Amino acid sequence: MTCNILPAWPYGIIGVSDRRLTGLVAGDIRTNRSTKITIFRCADAHGVIVYNGIGADENGLTPSQWLLHLADTEKLFDRSLSDVLDRVRDDLEIRLRPLRFKYGPKAARHTFIFGVWQQGESILHCLSNYEQLRDTTELAEGTEAVTESVWLAEPGARTRIVATGAHPSLANLRAISEAIAKSTPDRVKARCIKAVRDIAYGRSAGRGSVSATTQWVFMGPNPDQVWFGHDIVGGGYGQELPNLINIAATVPFGGTTMSAQIGGGIGMEIKDAYAGIETASSVSHYDPVKQQVVFDEPKCGTCGTPWPASHAFCEVCMYDDQHANGED
């Protein structure tokens, strides 16, 4: 399970997602640094894609990597949004087939949510084989066909909030709506992060299927208004960032003056980006055998949970410590 929260309103779209990947059957924690947010620009729109359901397929590929594969091999994101949605839907149907055959229709459920800006309007699209936008019912078994649902702004109901995977509490959803009506995008983002964190720490004492550490993106109506980052519980040494296709995004480093822009124009993809001010070299290194950059993620010596090297503390032990001290 994952937790994503994606509010859209006339001035902004925010996507927040947790980073935990658990085994499809056993539910064991595989990693706490799975990137579940993809930010993109296509021929007639720009937006963010989050997902829930399959964490990784039989080849170890995550749904974020499925999307990058479509960008790499078919230049899919150079095309129109309707082409992107159609192709991602078809690709998802094909990828779910063997998982459905092997693990059954209950395990083979998946949803992609797209929050997009198209002609100045914020629009939500859902591709799923078990749930639909504006409908709280979920099918216990995923269907063979993946269908699309859309949620447009309407007069008097221009704010929409969608959460897929583990659902946030009504109080936290209300707090997000209030922040949209009365406060800044930064406050909306903080409320979304809190909602995910409450789910992570509300279940199995931080050892459940949702991590307390999140990645986030804020997008304005123009494609140059994209900010993203990594909210690490307890603080960290830098930021591991969502993936980018055909678009640039700015990562703030705290305060109001320090930031860095990452990514670029059409044809450019950024994956596994890391932005750090200090000790960055201890977090990742180039592995000459694998011929790729490897991010260190040793297991915590106390609880055994994967502990990304960018995190100052183990988020599970931090939760246990706080509760031992009687803190909230």
The answer to whether 309 contacts Zn ion (rule: CB under 5 A) is no
Taking the complex as a whole, the smallest distance from the CB of residue 318 to Zn ion amounts, in Å, to: 8
Residue 318 binds Zn ion, judged by CB under 5 A: no
CA–CA gap between residue 226 and residue 247 (Å, rounded):
9
- Span interacting with Zn ion, options 21-29, 131-139, 205-213, 313-321, rule CB under 5 A: 313-321
- Looking only at Cα atoms, what is the longest distance across the chain? 57
| Single residue of 92, 218, 314, 319 touching Zn ion by CB under 5 A | 314
Strand 273-276 and strand 238-241: the pairing is: antiparallel
Task: By CB under 5 A, tell whether 303 contacts Zn ion.
Answer: yes
Residue 302, interface with Zn ion (CB under 5 A)? yes
Q: CB under 8 Å, gap of 24 or more: what pairs does 302-306 form?
A: 303/207, 305/29, 305/32, 305/207, 306/29, 306/30, 306/31, 306/32, 306/33
What's the token pair of residue 143?
Answer: 């269907």
317 binds Zn ion (CB under 5 A): yes
CB 202, min distance to Zn ion, A: 18
Nearest in space to 133 (alpha carbons), one of 110, 102, 163, 158 = 163
Smallest distance, Å, CB 316 to Zn ion? 5
Number of other CB atoms surrounding residue 203 within 10 Å: 14
- Residue 230 or residue 311: which is nearer to Zn ion going by CB? 311
- Figure out which of the listed residues 43, 61, 107, 300 binds Zn ion, where binding follows CB under 5 A: 300
Q: How many CA atoms lie within 13 A of 323 on its CB side?
A: 11
Query: Residue 236 pairs with which residues in a beta bridge?
Result: 311
Per-residue string for binding with Zn ion, 153-192, x by CB under 5 A? ----------------------------------------
Could you tell me which stretch among 149-157, 195-203, 238-246, 307-315 binds Zn ion (CB under 5 A)? 307-315
Contacts with Zn ion by CB under 5 A lie at 300, 302-303, 305, 314, 316-317
